[in-house]
Structure 1
């Protein structure tokens, strides 16, 4: 093994040996092959030159190497410059061997790089800010490692003088590739990447040479080419064909970029193509957009989306036009709806529209959020449209009726999964409602009827719907609905306890008797919290309960009074039902009817005919309610009247010829003509509820904030209320004035409110 101890070295003799290896390495064997032993010897030769005594030859070695590389580059430059058609091929050939050779040379000179170049670089950095000013005549370039110096020589001596010719030839070759001529991909890629690789050692502006010398020229040429190509295509094709054509052109150019260019150029070339082929012709695309949406030409719209989405122009125009189109189609469909089952038609039409355009957006616009948002806005516009002079949209009521039809028992029984799926679909429409509190009011009334009349298809389905509403609007929105279910469950327990109470009170031995055996009839009670149910007892109606029911009610009141002292029961006869058996006909019928209807029919157990005055005296119903109930029984053909116009002396008799195919059925409690009145009363109730809700929101905000500007208060009220409804500014101002009158708030200076209470 050679000794590493420094020694005297004859530089000229040693350099001539090193030079032969350097020449072989930098030219990749064209001047002789370097074996492993020779490589190892040259490595030590360079080491000894650097550590030679009495003086190191490192600086001279560096300079001689630099001179050799410069001379070598000049010789290659001469050959490259003199070439004509083969210039790119010759350039790539020399560059490839020179680049590889410079990498190996840098390894061979590792000791010089480490112990001479880097130390000098460190010293130069330390002396950048000398403590004393001095005049320096040295103007030498900073030292760099041998590999970097080799690349610098290539840049200065070869690239700079011939780059104009190189770039011109490159652009010509790329143009030939665009017009489908055969070109040498490897050569073009090699020349272009040399502009990048030759500056790889730079820490700042490493791509400056590539960008300034080649990329800028390429982008300019690309823009000019596609400007002409776009104009030519537009004269030959219509808009739809033009979009297909330029998509192919853009795809081809993207592929070409990946064949030839540095990755940093991909997006720049792509954007240049879009600018010339799409943005420059946006007016043409814009003029065709609306027609394509109306015709629903999905392929063409998909192409337009692909072209406009990446541009600075964007897809806003397409989004607006699609939203307008969906809104127009939706309004036309809703306004054309007719028929008895309007609620089902309304919801199913909206869901069909929503599903259709959601699929269009998914397949044509790849579920772009902007188009999804446009569908949401369009559906919200359709759902919340107010027709005629209505104070609110019809949608909340129709949606509530649709849910009622799903959750009410009917002959068309559906599976639980089908019901849940349809309820989930109805939630889609519910989300678009502005007046969710209107829906709540209608839904609550219909839920109350289903629960009271035992018409719910299943409690699980009912609770599923309420859970979904709670997820969207919160507990406050569904609190009363939840308490209604709780009342039904508590009432079931009360009825069981009441039966046990009856057994203990009426019989000490017969513990297995039923309710019918104990009090003569099957008796079921619902105890409802007054504030949770949308029901009320008629204030103008008096009623004498049939003797048959007096004792059971008195016994229940006694039982309830013992269980809950201090609570008062208020009987809702107008909501109660009874099932009676008719035995006066040729066959028995079991009929479910209202309490008032039952009381009227029971009067005919002892009489075959009665006047209206006599019935009124026996039941104590006011004449208006009595006539309504009698008419419902006449319409059901249980009773007969001598004249169509009822008067106080009109005679009512039993219809002994009544026949029905069904032996068990129900007489409607609410005649259809009252439905519109019910809707109007619900809307009035909601309007009143809104005022109280807004007052509570205002107080809650002001209690937390203490002081607030008028506009800020309005904004916060709208923000907190929009989950239930969108309040008008006029109503908010009115509620603020009410709270000022009630001394919850006071108006201070500078349009500001303060909390008082």
Structure 2
């Protein structure tokens, strides 16, 4: 083969080439030698001397293909050929003829495109427009650009075949799809034929860089979607007359699945969401009231199958799903409030937490099984649980959830027969309820008071469990929330080391305290011990004076400048009682121990005499001596305790246990202590809000009222949800204290006073 350009007789050359082109486009046999020689012919035409004839070749090929497609339309598609097995009595004859003709032609064009390889690559592609020019330049293909031969063949098919057939072809397609939906096998056309014909609408414009689906959408998709809508509108109306809500949903899901599988077989992927939307509109959105008619019953009776089906058909429409979500939320709330109404007895805290956990776990499992753990329903569960947990018996009274959860944790962490693994598991679950509590600062107050009692009185079941719980609270609310709790732990460990050093100090000086002494040094700022009880007057028994003096001497040598305040009301010890035939070891508080020590050398004392010796106030003294009388270690000669009562040692005391405690009743929280704790929370909140306001204003300098409120709410939500009234009072207080001021030109704007 010579690559040198030469003079070409185009008419003669094209005549020979045209025969081969005809054979290729009609899929007739072309001899191998002829096939390869035609590549040389096309090359020679494109580089002909003195002038290349590529454009003329392109024009003649285009005219040939146009004539060929028009002949196919006339002889094979509209009237059919004699060899076709189909006849005009077949309602889908046009589809069969078009399918057969298109299959042959599209394959022939593919081969023809290979034959014209040189023309495509060296002549046409060099003139092609870039994608940027097409997309952003609003340039028309027909006016400015030559197509590759394969693309040209498809474009000619579009203009001369598809557009000429018009709606006749699409009407038969829609009829075939309709019969397929009805499972009408006697009057149907195969899925392969439908798929290939629809695909031809896409293929003929696939080469376009812009608007490649325009023909497909205009000629087929639009009428198809309209026809599908009408079909499913009739289907829905028919089902509504025959079915209950439950069976209607099942039928809808079944038909939607069938339609989706059908669409996957023969539609372009872009049409599938549109078809689904059309079907959903006709079968679901148009009949929402009917579907909602049994929604309340499904939720209240927890009909999982029906709920699953209702969720499935409503999920694509978030607005339609809202009513189901709201109904579900209200049902959880109702169930939770019903559980709250059953709480009674001393173990209310256990019933509350474990009851709420049952509610939460029940509906979490239901959401997983029925609603596929949809975040929308999980959010509804959170809102419902939060509403129940933070509900109040009276608007003006604080909720009890924070106190009850703190008590529940306290009951787990106290010494008991519960295994450590079980304690850890229950504590982990309690965090689930804790996270829903809005007043987390109230929980923190109660928890810190109860932790203090456990640490001071050595009541903790496991220090590892205590530390794990604090770490969980830290993860949920941050370091600031658990700062004081960590410091309390530190004090206990430091106190242990301090006692070792104190014992070493006594040995070095050959001193003896006379009793086994264990001291806990507590930081005043970290421990919630209350300022009032620390100042209770008390005449320390002589048995305690020496060890107290020795420890103070030791402490001030090691830590100068620190002041020790003895909190006798928090102290306890073991006292050995040996005044009867049997010995007892009794654990009691300091004041109780001091009362019994007065009976060391006597068996009877007057009530007033005991009080004067100890110098305790009336309430404190009556509380502790009353506990000894109740335990029957002491007996009185009157029905009630009074100044004239004679208190006697009960020498006939009998107890099955030789080792017991009489401190439990005294360590219980009184209603007044609970009230004081709640009141102290309000004071802490005011201080917290004022500090937050100052911090925000110092950073922002100038801020409008509403913006300041929003920032305060955002920063406070970790600990509690402050009411707007309290925030306004705090703002006014800071204005009075001259931390902030109102700006002169605006009544709702504040500025920071540096």
TM-score under structure 1 length normalisation: 0.93
Query: Residue 582 of structure 2 aligns to a residue in which SS?
Result: coil
**Aligned partner of residue 152 in structure 2, secondary structure:** helix
- Report the CA distance shift for 1:92/1:595 in structure 2 as closer, same or farther (over 3 A): same
Q: Which residue of 1 aligns with 2:370?
A: 364
659-668 or 522-531: which moved more?
A: 659-668
What SS is found at the alignment partner of 1:339? coil
Residue 312 of structure 1 deviates from its aligned partner by 5.6
From 57, 74, 94, the equivalent of 2:101 is 94
In structure 2, relative to structure 1, the CA distance for the partners of 1:96 and 1:707 (3 Å cut) is same
The 3-state SS of whatever aligns with 2:254 is helix
The answer to whether the Cα contact below 8 Å between 1:117 and 1:144 also exists between their aligned partners in 2 is yes
Q: Structure 1 residue 154: deviation in Å?
A: 1.0
Indicate how the Cα distance of structure 1 residues 141 and 577 shifts in structure 2: closer, same or farther if over 3 A, else same. Answer: closer
Residue among 298, 304, 307 paired with 1:298:
304
In the other structure, the counterpart of 2:179 is 176
User: Do the aligned residues in 1 keep the contact of 2:129 with 2:145 (CA within 8 Å)?
Assistant: no
- The yes-or-no answer on 1:11 pairing with 2:10 is yes
Indicate whether 1:77 and 2:73 are aligned: yes
Match of 2:328 in 1: 322
Query: What residue ranges of structure 1 are gaps of 5+ in the alignment?
Result: 127-138, 508-517
Give how far 1:670 is off. 4.3
Among 194, 204, 222, the alignment partner of 1:188 is 194
Q: How far apart, CA to CA, are the structure 1 residues paired with 2:467 and 2:668?
A: 31
After superposition, the C-alpha distances for 1:195-244 in whole angstroms (9 at most, x for unaligned) are 01111111111111111101111101100000010011011111111101
Q: Is the 8 A contact 2:514 2:547 kept in 1?
A: no
CA apart distance, 1:64 = 2.2
Show CA shifts across 1:671-714 (max 9, x none): 48852111111111111111111111111111111221122211
Q: How far does residue 141 in structure 1 lie from its aligned partner after superposition?
A: 7.9
Q: Describe the SS at the equivalent of 1:169.
A: helix
**Distance (whole Å) between structure 1 residues aligned to residue 406 and residue 122 of structure 2:** 87
Structure 1 range deviating more: 676-685 or 49-58: 49-58
Distance in 2, matches of 1:435 and 1:201, equals 65
CA deviation profile, 1:587-631 (whole Å, cap 9, x unmatched): 211110000000111111211111101111221222222111111
Matches within 5 A, 1:16-95: 16-29=15-28, 33-78=29-74, 79-83=76-80, 84=88, 85=90, 86-95=93-102
What is the aligned counterpart of 2:519 among 513, 522, 525?
A: 525
SS in structure 2 opposite 1:754?
strand
Instruction: Choose from 535, 543, 547 the match for 2:542.
Output: 547
Conserved? CA contact 1:480–1:533, under 8 Å:
yes
Do the aligned partners of residues 553 and 151 (structure 1) sit closer, same or farther apart at CA in structure 2, a change above 3 Å counting? same
Q: Could you say if the C-alpha distance between residues 359 and 20 of structure 1 is closer, same or farther in structure 2, counting changes exceeding 3 Å?
A: same
Q: Does residue 146 of structure 1 match 2:152?
A: no
* 1:707-718 paired onto structure 2 within 5 Å: 707-718=702-713
Are the aligned partners of 1:591 and 1:666 in contact in 2 as well (CA < 8 Å)? Answer: yes
In 2, the alpha carbon distance for the partners of 1:389 and 1:217 equals 61
Task: Name the residue aligned to 1:108.
Answer: 115
Helix, strand or coil at the partner of 1:581: strand
Aligned with residue 738 of structure 2, among 733, 743, 755:
743
**Equivalent-residue separation in structure 1 for 2:156 and 2:412 (angstroms):** 84
- Shifted more, 57-66 versus 571-580: the winner is 57-66
> How far apart in 1 are the matches of 2:534 and 2:433?
38
Q: 2:292 aligns with which of 279, 283, 286?
A: 286
Q: What is the alpha-carbon distance in structure 2 between the residues aligned to residue 441 and residue 194 of structure 1? A: 75
C-alpha change, 1:312 and 1:452, in structure 2 (3 Å) is closer
8 Å Cα contact 1:292/1:301 also seen in 2: yes
1:644 offset after TM fit, Å?
Answer: 2.2
The one of 495, 520, 530 equivalent to 1:491 is 495
CA contact (8 A) 1:275 1:311 kept: no
SS in 2 for 1:45: helix
What SS class does the counterpart of residue 319 from structure 2 fall into? coil
In structure 2, the residue corresponding to 1:315 is in which secondary structure?
helix
Are the structure 2 counterparts of residues 103 and 608 from structure 1 closer, same or farther at C-alpha, using a change threshold of 3 Å? same
Q: Which residue is 1:512 aligned to?
A: none
Q: Is the 8 A contact 1:279 1:313 kept in 2?
A: no
What aligned pairs does 1:576-655 form with structure 2 within 5 A after superposition?
Answer: 576-655=571-650
How far the C-alpha of 1:110 sits from its partner, in A, is: 2.0
Residue 310 of structure 1 deviates from its aligned partner by: 0.6
Equivalents in 2 of 1:520, 1:490: separation in Å? 24
Is 1:458 equivalent to 2:457 in the alignment?
no
Range that drifts further, 680-689 or 108-117: 108-117
Q: Kindly tell me: are residues 120 and 595 of structure 1, through their superposed partners in 2, closer, same or farther at Cα, counting changes over 3 Å?
A: closer
Shift of residue 256 of structure 1? 0.6
Equivalent residue number for residue 137 of structure 2:
none
How many residue pairs were aligned?
Answer: 728
Aligned to 2:357: 351
Q: Distance in 2 between matches of 1:290 and 1:58?
A: 76
Assess, with a 3 A threshold, how the Cα gap between structure 1 residues 298 and 264 changes in structure 2: closer, same or farther: same
Give the SS at the match of 1:605. coil
Query: Partners of 1:312 and 1:542 in 2: how far apart?
Result: 68
**Distance in 2 of aligned mates of 1:122 and 1:261:** 30
Q: What is the alpha-carbon distance in structure 1 between the residues aligned to residue 392 and residue 568 of structure 2?
A: 37
Distance 2:542 2:470 in 1: 40
State the match for 2:161 in structure 1: 158
Alpha-carbon contact 1:320-1:374 (below 8 Å) kept: yes
How far off its partner does 1:442 sit? 0.6
Conserved 8 A contact 2:534-2:565:
no
- 2:414 and 2:461 in contact (8 A); partners too: yes
TM-score w.r.t. length of structure 2: 0.94
Post-superposition Cα deviations, 1:37-96, rounded to whole Å, max 9, x if no partner, equal 221100101111222233433333222222221221122101211143322122111111
Alignment of 1:375-394 (within 5 A): 375-388=381-394, 391-394=397-400
State the partner residue of 2:343.
337
SS at match of 1:519: coil
State how 1:118-137 maps to structure 2 within 5 Å. Answer: 118=125
Q: Map residues 428-467 of structure 1 onto 2, 5 A cutoff.
A: 428-467=432-471
Residue in structure 2 matched with residue 515 of structure 1 by the alignment: none
Decide which of 383, 386, 401 is 1:395's aligned counterpart: 401
Mapping of residues 408-423 of structure 1, within 5 Å: 408-410=414-416, 412-415=417-420, 417-423=421-427
Tell me, what secondary structure is at the counterpart of 1:80?
helix
Following TM superposition, by how much is the alpha carbon of 1:669 offset from its aligned partner in structure 2, in angstroms?
5.1
Shift of 1:388: 3.5
Quote the Cα distance in structure 1 between the aligned partners of 2:144 and 2:728. Answer: 78
> What residue in structure 2 maps to residue 135 of structure 1?
none
The one of 737, 741, 754 equivalent to 2:751 is: 754
The 10-residue stretch of structure 1 (663-672 or 525-534) with the greater mean CA deviation from structure 2: 663-672
Distance in 1, Cα, partners of 2:448 & 2:334: 32
- Asked whether the equivalents of residues 634 and 640 of structure 1 are also in contact (C-alpha less than 8 Å), the reply is yes
Deviates further, 449-458 or 624-633: 624-633
Specify the alignment match of 2:136 in structure 1: none
Measured after TM superposition, the shift of residue 473 of structure 1 is 1.3
Structure-2 separation of matches of 1:306 and 1:120: 53
Q: Give how far 1:322 is off.
A: 1.1
- 1:256 aligns with one of 259, 262, 266: 262
Partner of 1:477: 481
Which residue of 2 is the match for residue 730 of structure 1?
725
Q: Choose the corresponding residue for 2:241, options 235, 243, 258.
A: 235
